[in-house]
Amino acid sequence: MYKKKDKSQLNNKRSLVTKWNSKSPISEQYRTIRTNIQFSAVDAEIKTLLVTSSSAGEGKSTTAANLAVVFAQQGNKVLLVDADLRKPTIHHTFNVQNAIGLTSILTKKKELFEAISETEVKSLFVLSSGPIPPNPAELISSESMKVLLECLKVEFDTIIFDTPPILAVADAHILANRCDGSILVILSGHTENKNASKAKEVLESSSSNLLGAVLNKKKAKADEDYYYYSK
């Protein structure tokens, strides 16, 4: 049903630790994050999960992609959506096409099944960004996005959104209002406290549930590379 990978897309892979070394301590930390997410909402199921950070380059896409892999490894049917319509990277990470994607559906140029790609990870599918639009926030806040989200919830167990930095543009804030939970990525030794606090405030002011923060690239003692702190 979904787009099969064509052979030319199989080269030029980016390394995803959870995919290539699922036994590593780092992968184990991603599984811990997964468990914490699943236990964070006792009464409400977290079906739609947004990953963001305060500023650029803090590890949103890396975190979203690795989380998608570990959710899929648990047997869930997972869709990773590249909702960073400004600087999309998920198609590179999973080496899938990006000629058709989220923007193609939102602008009604293509059907959903034409835009979703299979990945090499069993039960993990990707909806890449599609062509970069001139009006990302408008598309993210559109009625079409609302309708799409409802369709995706029927089709997939877990839907994970990679987004742009929340303090830079409105997209992640808008989308957070439509997701069950959100995760804030903090880059160790880099993210300023005031920016992390501001991002936390913005997420808390959305109707989504801020589930916690991922501290990325923490210099590890022994084999600890990632920590997860719940609120």
Ligand X SMILES: Nc1ncnc2c1ncn2[C@@H]1O[C@H](COP(=O)(O)OP(=O)(O)OP(=O)(O)O)[C@@H](O)[C@H]1O
Contact positions vs ligand X (CB under 6 A): 53, 56-62, 84, 87, 89, 165, 216-217
Q: By C-beta, is 59 or 101 nearer to ligand X?
A: 59
- The Cα–Cα gap between 104 and 17 comes to 30
Closest C-alpha to 86, from 191, 148, 166: 166
Q: How far is the CB of 23 from Mg ion (least distance, A)?
A: 26
Q: Which two tokens stand for residue 175?
A: 């989308």
Q: By C-beta, is 108 or 221 nearer to ligand X?
A: 221
Q: How far is the CB of 171 from Mg ion (least distance, A)?
A: 12
- Name the residue number minimizing CB distance to Mg ion: 61
Q: By C-beta, is 59 or 136 nearer to ligand X?
A: 59
Q: By C-beta, is 37 or 215 nearer to ligand X?
A: 215
Q: How far is the CB of 132 from ligand X (least distance, A)?
A: 13
Judged by CB under 5 A, which stretch of 61-69, 113-121, 126-134, 218-226 contacts Mg ion? Answer: 61-69
Closest C-alpha to 30, from 160, 149, 176: 160
Q: Tell whether the torsion through CA atoms of 174, 161, 17 and 31 is positive or negative.
A: positive
Q: By C-beta, is 153 or 217 nearer to ligand X?
A: 217
Does residue number 61 form part of the binding site for Mg ion (CB under 5 A)? Answer: yes
Work out what residue 62 binds among ligand X, Mg ion, none; the CB cut-off runs from 5 to 8 Å by kind: ligand X
CB count within 10 Å of CB 216 equals: 20
Q: How far is the CB of 146 from ligand X (least distance, A)?
A: 24
Q: How far is the CB of 163 from Mg ion (least distance, A)?
A: 8
Which ranges constitute the DSSP H helices of the chain?
17-20, 25-40, 60-73, 90-93, 102-106, 112-115, 136-140, 143-155, 171-176, 193-204
Hey, what amino acid is at 136? Answer: P
Q: Where along the sequence are the contacts to Mg ion (CB under 5 A)?
A: 60-61
